[in-house]
Amino acid sequence: MNVDASNLIVGRLSSVLAKKALGGEKINVVNAEKAGFSAEKEVLAKKWKMRIDLTAKGNPHMSPKWSRMPDKIVRKAIKGMLPTDKAPGRKAYANIKVFIGVPEELKNEKLETIESALNDKKHNFVSVEELSRALGANW
């Protein structure tokens, strides 16, 4: 299954794709940077900056690592919807690939969209690209 993430809400997209991955489908998500969150940009950027800046007091190198790249942000959101502490969840997570833009091998493939995850334009919408740029990502 090849999914175009343009103008989709990340959380809704993640829950649908996690269920499909647990069903055994191989999933490719393209245009991850065009997906987004329904939140105010300043609030969301502040929350993510705080996550990235947190370090453990004992050994800072053992702290959780949060990526700034759009494909990693979307992939981590999908991972959060999977039971990765069990074998089926780890297998499903291995079947998910997320890309920035559309890679060459998927240019001629038919891309689907998830209707239930579409942005309804009623709330604030911050794309993953805007969030990544605010956090300092370059690609």
Provide the domain limits for residue 15. 2-135
Q: Is the pLDDT of residue 123 over 80?
A: no
pLDDT in tens, 4-36: 999 999 999 999 999 999 999 999 999 999 999
pLDDT of residue 61: 85
- Least Cα distance to 49 among 139, 138, 134, 117 occurs for 134
- Least Cα distance to 20 among 76, 95, 105, 90 occurs for 95
User: Any idea of the CA torsion for 14, 84, 95, 131, to the nearest 10 degrees?
Assistant: 40
Q: At what angle do helices 128-135 and 41-53 cross, to 10 degrees?
A: 50
Q: What is the CATH number of the domain that holds 93?
A: 3.90.1180.10
Domains identified in the chain, total number: 1
Q: Is the pLDDT of residue 79 over 90?
A: yes
Q: Which DSSP string corresponds to 71-126? A: HHHHHHHHHHTS-TTSHHHHHHHHTEEE-SS--GGGTTSPPB--GGGB--SSS--E
Mean pLDDT (whole number) for 83-111? 94
Provide the token pair at 49: 């900056």
Cβ atoms 74, 16 nearer than 8 A: no
Confidence of residue 52 (pLDDT cuts 50, 70, 90): confident
User: Rounded to whole angstroms, how far apart are CA atoms 118 and 99?
Assistant: 19
